[in-house]
Amino acid sequence: MHITVVPASPRTAQATIRFLLAHPSGPTVRGVYRDLARVPAEFAANPKFAAVTGDIIDASSLDFAGSDAVLNVQPPIYAEIDTVKHALDVSNNIKAAVQRATSVKRLVFVSSMGAQYDHGTGEILTSHAAETVLADAAPEVVFVRCAYFMHNWEAALKTISEAGFFFTTLTPLDNTLPQVAKDDIGETCAEELLATGNPLKSNPYIFDLVGPRPYTSLDVQRAWEEATGKTLEMRPVGKDGLAEFYGHVFPPVVAKRYTEMNLSFLPGGIIYEQSQPTGEVRKGRVELVDEFRKLLQGA
């Protein structure tokens, strides 16, 4: 089996490659990089791995010839551009490249919880846009709608190490949110890629991927305290403070998208209320505290 991962740098893509290269069936993997200097040494040294140059924003640079399956991830955009249009353009590039390479039987896309909604989800509208384009891109299509990434909490590392506190935008503090680790995403995507050619329950086949249990901000605080061995202060940012909070971190248009996304998974938001649940929900194994231990080690 030959699998292309495009692009190969995002953390979810890297986790998938790691599982593929360790798999006993011995698939060969092609990673697509904007800059070949970014290929991790652990992959470069593996004879089953090949790195090639390509950019998802340039359709002519993408060559999936000879691949049985393709994993696509859409990297986050922090620039003041129309990210939904960008997602449509990039997805059309992926779709065209899949269809040029007549060997590709299956496309797996790292999507997001809430991708079924066409409004009210801010940044997640990019995953919705991608799903609309990619739904018929290959004979078999799989959308892995991932919960909130546990590695998003990496942003807390700086304030924790410098001042012993972290911000949380997940309120009220006992409100739960499904969260998932990159290794669970990587393992799940690898399994779906390796299952190419096996019948799908539906096409596109769509499921939600969550962690072993949902977590509250209080759970997040406990996990950071356990991982660091320190008592830490948690500084909540309530609904009314979100626009200002993201305004300090991002340019205005980006801050607006992140505010809307954050509101969507708080009580009253469209994802919290879940009027159109995906249906199937799969659970990963990695607990929050174990992901935080990895983040502390820079992994």
Residue ranges in contact with ligand NAP by CB under 6 A: 7, 9-12, 34-35, 38, 55-57, 73-76, 110, 112, 127, 146, 148-149, 152
The alpha-helical segments, DSSP class H, found in the chain are: 11-22, 41-44, 83-100, 125-134, 157-163, 182-194, 217-228, 242-249, 252-264, 270-273, 288-296
Q: Which residue, 285, 260, 253, is CA-closest to 128?
A: 260
Task: Give the nearer residue to ligand NAP in terms of CB position, either 9 or 105.
Answer: 9
Instruction: Report, in Å, the least distance between residue 239 CB and ligand NAP.
Output: 19
Instruction: Report, in Å, the least distance between residue 96 CB and ligand NAP.
Output: 16
Task: Give the nearer residue to ligand NAP in terms of CB position, either 6 or 69.
Answer: 6
Task: Give the nearer residue to ligand NAP in terms of CB position, either 4 or 127.
Answer: 127
Instruction: Report, in Å, the least distance between residue 9 CB and ligand NAP.
Output: 3
Task: Give the nearer residue to ligand NAP in terms of CB position, either 37 or 231.
Answer: 37
| Contact (Cβ atoms closer than 8 angstroms) between residue 42 and residue 210 | no
Instruction: Report, in Å, the least distance between residue 10 CB and ligand NAP.
Output: 3
Task: Give the nearer residue to ligand NAP in terms of CB position, either 104 or 144.
Answer: 144
Instruction: Report, in Å, the least distance between residue 27 CB and ligand NAP.
Output: 20
The backbone torsions φ and ψ at residue 22, rounded to the nearest 5 degrees and listed phi first, read -90, -5
Angle between helices 217-228 and 288-296 (to 10 degrees): 50
Instruction: Report, in Å, the least distance between residue 242 CB and ligand NAP.
Output: 16
Task: Give the nearer residue to ligand NAP in terms of CB position, either 9 or 46.
Answer: 9
Q: Which contacts of 153-161 are long-range, i.e. CB under 8 A and separated by 24 or more positions?
A: 153/220, 153/224, 153/291, 153/292, 153/295, 154/295, 156/224, 157/295, 157/296, 160/224, 160/228, 160/230, 160/232
